[in-house]
Amino acid sequence: MLKEDGTVDEALMPALSPDDIKKLHAHMVLTRQFDERMFKLQRQGRVGTFARVSGQEGAHVGAAFALRPTDWLVPAFRETGALMWRGITMVQLLQLWGGDERGGRFPHDLRTLPVAIPVGTHMLHAVGIGWALKAAGEDAAVMTVFGEGATSEGDFSEALNMAGVFRSPVVFFCQNNQYAISLPFSRQTAAPTVAQKALAFGMFGVQVDGNDVFAVYRAVSEALDRARTGHEPTLIEALTYRVTDHTTSDDARRYRPDDEVAAWRGRDPIERLARYMRAAGLLDEASEAAVWAAAEQKVADAVTAFEAIEPPGPDEIFAHVYAEKTPQLLEQEAELKARLAGRA
Amino acid sequence: MARLNMVDAIDQALLQAMERDPKMVIMGEDVGRDGGVFRVTDGLVQRFGEERVIDTPLAESGIVGMAIGMAIAGYHPVAEIQFSGFVYPAYDQLVCHAARMRNRSRGEFTVPLVVRMPYGGGIRALEHHSESMEAVFAHVPGLKVAIPADPYEAKGLLAAALADPDPVVFFEPARVYRAIKTEVPEEPYSIPLGKARIVREGSHLTLIAWGAQVRTVKDAAQELEAENVAQAEVIDVRTLSPFDFETVIASVSKTGRAIIVHEAPKTCGFGAEISAEIMERAVLHLQAPVVRITGFDTIPPLAKLEDYYQPDVARVVDAAKVLLEF
Please report, for chain A, the start and end positions of each structural domain, with discontinuous segments joined by +: 18-312, 313-344
Whether the bond between B57 and the residue before it is cis, its omega within 30 degrees of 0, is: no
Q: Which residues of B touch A135 (CB under 8 A)?
A: 51, 75
One domain for residues B56 and B82: yes
One domain for residues B284 and B161: no
Which residues have a Cβ under 8 Å from the Cβ of B221 and sit 6 or more positions away? B200, B202, B207, B232, B233, B234
Residue B279 gets which letter from DSSP?
A: H
One domain for residues B179 and B202: no
B139 is catalytic: no
Which residues have a Cβ under 8 Å from the Cβ of A98 and sit 6 or more positions away? A46, A47, A48, A306
- H or E element in which residue A205 lies: strand A204-209
**Chain A stretch 216-245, residues whose beta carbon is closer than 8 A to a beta carbon of chain B:** none
Q: Mutation test of the interface with chain B: which of A88, A138, A158, choosing the one with the most B Cβ atoms within 10 A?
A: A158
Last residue of a domain, one of B156, B183, B210: B183
Q: Give domain status of residue B297, yes or no.
A: yes
Q: Give domain status of residue B280, yes or no.
A: yes
Q: Which residues of B touch A318 (CB under 8 A)?
A: none
- CA-based nearest residue in chain B for residue A328: B242
Beta-bridge partners for A239: A176, A209
Average pLDDT, whole number, for chain B? 97
Total domains, chain B:
2
Contact B25, B78 (CB under 8 A): yes
Average pLDDT, whole number, for chain A? 96
> Half-sphere exposure of A121 toward its Cβ, with a 13 Å CA cutoff?
21
Q: Give domain status of residue B18, yes or no.
A: yes
Superfamily of domain A18-312: Thiamin diphosphate (ThDP)-binding fold, Pyr/PP domains (3.40.50.970)
Q: Which of B256, B297, B288, B292 is nearest to B274 (CA)?
A: B292
Query: Which of A108, A132, A166 lies nearest to residue B75, judging by beta carbons?
Result: A132
One domain for residues B166 and B222: no
3-class secondary structure, B202: coil
pLDDT band with cut points at 50, 70 and 90 for residue B1: confident
pTM of model > 0.80: yes
**Chain A stretch 106-125, residues whose beta carbon is closer than 8 A to a beta carbon of chain B:** 106-108, 113-114, 116, 118, 121-125
Distance of CA B14 to CAs A253, B44, B54, B175, Å?
A: 57, 8, 14, 20
Tell me if B72 and A323 make a contact (CB, 8 A cut-off): no
pLDDT (tens digit per residue) in B64-103: 999 999 999 999 999 999 999 999 999 999 999 999 999 9
Mean pLDDT confidence for B239-261: 98
Q: Locate the DSSP E strands across B192-306.
A: 197-200, 205-209, 232-236, 239-241, 258-265, 291-295
Q: How many CB pairs under 8 A join A and B?
A: 142
Q: Give domain status of residue B59, yes or no.
A: yes
Classify burial at B297, counting beta carbons within 10 Å of its beta carbon; exposed 0-12, middle 13-18, buried 19 or more.
exposed
- CA-based nearest residue in chain A for residue B72: A129
Q: Give domain status of residue B189, yes or no.
A: no
**Chain A stretch 299-338, residues whose beta carbon is closer than 8 A to a beta carbon of chain B:** 319-323, 326-328
- CA-based nearest residue in chain A for residue B104: A104
Residue B219's identity, in one-letter code, is D
Q: Give domain status of residue B225, yes or no.
A: yes
One domain for residues B214 and B155: no
Q: Give domain status of residue B314, yes or no.
A: yes
Q: What is the pLDDT of residue A344?
A: 67
Residue B154 gets which letter from DSSP?
A: H
One domain for residues B136 and B111: yes
Residue B27 gets which letter from DSSP?
A: E
Residue A310 gets which letter from DSSP?
A: P
Last residue of a domain, one of B149, B183, B217: B183
Contact B309, B300 (CB under 8 A): yes
One domain for residues B214 and B246: yes
Contact B247, B195 (CB under 8 A): yes
One domain for residues B202 and B143: no
The CATH number of residue B271's host domain is: 3.40.50.920
* Percent of chain B at pLDDT exceeding 90: 99
Tell me if A127 and B102 make a contact (CB, 8 A cut-off): no
Q: Which residues of A touch B51 (CB under 8 A)?
A: 135
Q: Say whether residue A144 is in contact with chain B using an 8 A CB cutoff.
A: no
Q: Which of A157, A161, A169, A53 is nearest to A115 (CA)?
A: A53
Which phi-psi region, left, alpha or beta, contains residue A209 (left: φ > 0; alpha: ψ -120 to 50)?
beta
Q: How many CB atoms lie within 10 A of CB A1?
A: 16
Tell me if A124 and B66 make a contact (CB, 8 A cut-off): yes
One domain for residues B52 and B166: yes
Q: Which of B179, B137, B164 is nearest to B9 (CA)?
A: B179
Beta-bridge partners for B209: B236
Degrees (nearest 5) of the Cα angle B181, B170, B70?
A: 130
Longest distance between any two alpha carbons in chain A, whole Å: 72
**Cα gap B25→B52, rounded to integer Å:** 5
pLDDT (tens digit per residue) in A117-159: 999 999 999 999 999 999 999 999 999 999 999 999 999 999 9
pLDDT at A290 over 80: yes
Q: Which residues of B touch A159 (CB under 8 A)?
A: 62, 65-66
* Percent of chain A at pLDDT exceeding 90: 98
Tell me if B72 and A113 make a contact (CB, 8 A cut-off): yes
Last residue of a domain, one of B136, B161, B183: B183
Q: Which of A84, A81, A88, A118 is nearest to A104 (CA)?
A: A88
pLDDT band with cut points at 50, 70 and 90 for residue A343: confident
Q: How many CB atoms lie within 10 A of CB B288?
A: 15
Q: Locate the DSSP E strands across chain B.
A: 3-4, 24-28, 53-55, 76-80, 114-119, 144-146, 168-173, 182-183, 197-200, 205-209, 232-236, 239-241, 258-265, 291-295
| Shortest distance, CA B54 to any CA of chain A (angstroms) | 10
**By residue range, what is the domain housing residue B120?**
3-183
One domain for residues B231 and B314: yes
One domain for residues B162 and B294: no
Interhelix angle A269-279/A57-65, rounded to 10 degrees, is 70
Among B76, B97, B129, B262, the one annotated catalytic:
B129
3-class secondary structure, A25: helix
Query: Which of B59, B166, B243 lies nearest to residue A322, judging by beta carbons?
Result: B166
Q: Give domain status of residue B188, yes or no.
A: no
The ipTM, to two decimals, is: 0.96
Tell me if A322 and B105 make a contact (CB, 8 A cut-off): no
